[in-house]
Amino acid sequence: MKVSTVLLSIACLVAQVAASHHGIPNHQVVRTHVRRNATSIDVPSTQGLNFTIDGEADYFAGTNSYWIGYLTNNADVDLVLDHLQESGLRILRVWGFSDVNSKPTDGKVYFQLLQNGTATINTGSDGLQRLDYVVAAAEKRGIKLIINFVNNWSDYGGINAYTTAFGGTSTSWYTTPVIQNVYRKYIKAIISRYSQSSAIFAWELANEPRCSGCNTSVIYNWAASTSAYIKSLDSQHMVAIGDEGFGLNVGSDGSYPYTYAEGLDFEKNLEIDTIDFGTFHLYPSTWGVANSFGNGWITAHAKACVAAHKPCLMEEYGVETTKCTVEGQWQQTALETKGIGADLFWQYGDKLSTGNSPDDHYTIYYGTDDYKCLITDHVAEA
């Protein structure tokens, strides 16, 4: 999700389109051998079309909190993770990046300074030590984390922060050697810091990578080489792309999300050996389609994942109104569709020491009626 969500204009939508997710319920699994070798920390893995946590294959529910790694009060982190554990949410996706082009003077947490052709990773108390606390706190509660390395959007720096410091554009970012070297150094720093933690579920290349107007080979080649690099650093943990699931032939209704306009080919990218599972997001209102689009989007991706013999993660999904009605139906479809192994709603909300956590109108706050129907009831059914 782009934090500062902006609706696509009709003109932009038309231009992008022109440029050119019924089976056995996933939670009814047969517990056989796990695909990966077991280790002393019982690394999460895949088993057929399902995920495993602590050696058990099942359907898992989780959520997103882009902001938790930027909290400066440990008690706030503990509160959030206590509530997630109490709720039965097993997977939490967090942002493992915070890139800036000038050093903040207000105590703002940042992880990497990209300035004048140089990169400096901040391991201080206003840097990666904040993410350290999240990882350690998740370990204590048995919550598994998905950590990504860069943002497609300018929120918390992202690709734009790299091109500001080193030149280039959002599309050339994927193929510019100096930028990719800096990006890989950051990946290495994060993986070397947390690869031995029992809290890690998977590494993720980016948040919603796009290469608008590019040949799909650009992101394919980047994803293949980057995921292979990650596996060379940590062969035990799973790796995913973190994309929205764009570019899909199976089940296509011809609408914008199914096209290849953003430089993605979901089915082709699933073929990459060093990508362990598929990810897709679901935001009808920002894509110019109706909420009824969602069920077909879910089953289409599930079919692609079944064909690739890899599970799908419905990694982000949300609507701004009538959440229980709309998102509840999507959750039911995901639960009943072979190929979907887990879902993570966007996004979790709680009352912190500073007030409510960020609300982008998709937020579902702990203890609310929406939380009961979409989290408490969903976890019980899963």
Looking at the DSSP bridge assignments, the partners of residue 58 are: 51
Residue located via tokens 């500073």: 354
How far apart are alpha carbons 93 and 199 in whole angstroms?
11
Among 244, 262, 315, 316, the one annotated catalytic: 316
Among 139, 204, 208, 244, the one annotated catalytic: 208
Looking at the DSSP bridge assignments, the partners of residue 145 are: 92, 200
- In which element (H, E) is residue 136 found? helix 128-141
How far apart are alpha carbons 54 and 38 in whole angstroms?
10
Q: What is the 3-state secondary structure (H, E, C) of 219-259?
A: HHHHHHHHHHHHHHHCCCCEEECCCCCCCCCCCCCCCHHHC
Q: Nearest Cα to 227, choosing from 204, 209, 245, 246?
A: 204
Strands (E) in the chain, as ranges, are 45-47, 50-53, 56-58, 60-64, 91-95, 99-100, 112-115, 118-121, 144-148, 200-204, 238-240, 278-282, 312-317, 340-345, 348-349, 351-352, 355-356, 364-365
Is 336 known to be catalytic? no
How far apart are alpha carbons 149 and 105 in whole angstroms?
24
Looking at the DSSP bridge assignments, the partners of residue 63 are: 92, 345
Token digits of residue 342: 């887990």
CA atoms within 13 A on the CB side of 140: 11
Question: How far does CA 361 lie from the centroid of its chain?
Answer: 19
How far apart are alpha carbons 211 and 62 in whole angstroms?
28
Given a contact cutoff of 8 angstroms between Cβ atoms, the answer to whether 45 and 238 are in contact is yes
Is 316 known to be catalytic? yes
Query: Which residues carry out catalysis?
Result: 208, 316
